[in-house]
Amino acid sequence: MNMTVNNTTSDTTRVMLVGEMQDGTFKAKVMAETDVPYTPYWEHLVEQRMIYLQPDPDQLQAIVKALNERRLTLDQLQDFGGAGGGQSELPV
């Protein structure tokens, strides 16, 4: 099932920060692009990526669930989004 998620727009520049933890789980948070740290955001982090998507809270929860259930990979998620607005169809 696909889910339509808004991409980042130039007037809001909100992004989704996604992190893979050492235990193999994922966390995510929507924040202003300027608030994304250059250092790890979460403790026990293996990797974090900034994705140009603006999911609502329910969509964010569904994305994290799909990552944790391995129905979506971080590499696949990175292929979605954009800074110019519009929408992305995520296979969540």
| Ranges of each domain in the chain | 3-80
Digit-coded pLDDT (tens) for 28-84:
999 999 999 999 999 999 999 999 999 999 999 999 999 999 999 999 999 999 999
Query: Smallest Cα–Cα separation from 81: which of 32, 12, 9, 29?
Result: 9
Amino acid at 44: H
Digit-coded pLDDT (tens) for 38-49:
999 999 999 999
Give the span between the Cα atoms of 81 and 86, in whole angstroms.
8
